[in-house]
Amino acid sequence: MRQVVVLGAALALATGMAFAAAAELDTAVMETLEVVSESLASNIALADVAAARTDAADLQSLFAEVQAHFAARGDAVDAVEYAKKSRELAGAVRVALEAGKFDDAANAASEIGRTCKACHRKYKP
C-alpha cells in the first residue's frame, strides 16, 4: 500500500512539474514571439531584407514550437491552428522578401499580429 501512495505522489509531482515547465516555456516563447514580431515589422519598414529574413525564420521556428506545445496539450485545437497559420504567414513574409515585395511582406507580418490577437482573445486569461 505504501508503494502505491509513494508512486502516486511521485506521479502527481512529476505531472505538476511538467505542467509548470510547459507553462514557463509557453510564457518565454510568447514573450520572444512578441519581440521578434516587432523587430520583423520594423525591419520590413526599413527594407532591411537580411534582418527581416532572419526574423521571419525565427518566427517560423517559434510558431512551430507553439504549435507543438498546444497540440501536446490536446485541449486547444484553435491555438494549434492559429500557430500553424502564423508559421505559414512567416513563410509568406520570407517569400515576399525574396521577391522584393515589401508591401506583401508587411501585410503578411500584420496578419501574424492579428492572428496572435485572435488566439490571445480566446486563450489568454
Residues 6+ apart with CB under 8 A from 70: 76, 79, 80, 83
Confidence at 124, pLDDT banded by 50, 70, 90 = confident
Q: State residue 18's pLDDT score.
A: 40
Residue-wise pLDDT for 52-91, tens only, equals 999 999 999 999 999 999 999 999 999 999 999 999 999 9
Tell me the domain boundaries of the chain. 23-123
- The top-level CATH class assigned to 23-123 is mainly alpha
**pTM for the complete prediction?**
0.79
